[in-house]
Amino acid sequence: MKVNTYLNFPGTCRQALDFYAKHLGAKTLIISTFDQMPGPQNLPPGLDKHGVMHSRFTLGDTLIMASDGPKAEPMRSAYLTLSVDSNEEAERIYKALTEGGEVFMAMNETFFAHRFGQFRDKFGINWMVIHEKPMPARS
């Protein structure tokens, strides 16, 4: 069994993919639009026929899928977490992804991380960015 993340956007999937490519190095593998569906295209109200029906992209070594949905709302209980190797990378990503978004926890040092922040980006996706500190193993 394998678990993958599937993100739904309210008509902004293509813009989000471009944004994540620019700021995170995401690589789009495929994009299928609603107007490419075979047969009669009975789209739910609110969907653009040129919107993203399905996409696959990689972020680091993780595969993520995404699409535009008619009633896509921000998910409140899950976060995509980016683990980085430096304070500079954590700060760079935090600055880029918080622009136009909502900060839940400002980027700071914590007992478990050199840098840690939580936020929702302008596309409605929740993120955590962390540059972890070495922690002692539990016995």
Question: pTM for this structure?
Answer: 0.89
121 burial type by CB count under 10 A (0-12 exposed, 13-18 middle, 19+ buried): buried
What is the per-residue pLDDT across 52-73, written as a single tens digit (0 to 9) for each?
Answer: 999 999 999 999 999 998 777 7
9, 72 Cβ separation under 8 angstroms: yes
Give the residue from 95, 124, 93 showing the smallest Cα distance to 24: 93
| Structure confidence at residue 109 as a pLDDT band (50, 70, 90) | very high
The reply to whether 5-68 and 80-132 are identical in fold is: yes
For residue 80, the Cα-to-chain-centroid distance in whole angstroms is 6
Delimit the domains of the chain by residue range: 5-68, 80-132
What is the per-residue pLDDT across 24-52, written as a single tens digit (0 to 9) for each?
Answer: 999 999 999 988 888 767 777 778 888 99
CATH number of the 80-132 domain? 3.30.720.110
For residue 120, the SS3 value is strand
Top-level CATH class of 5-68? alpha beta
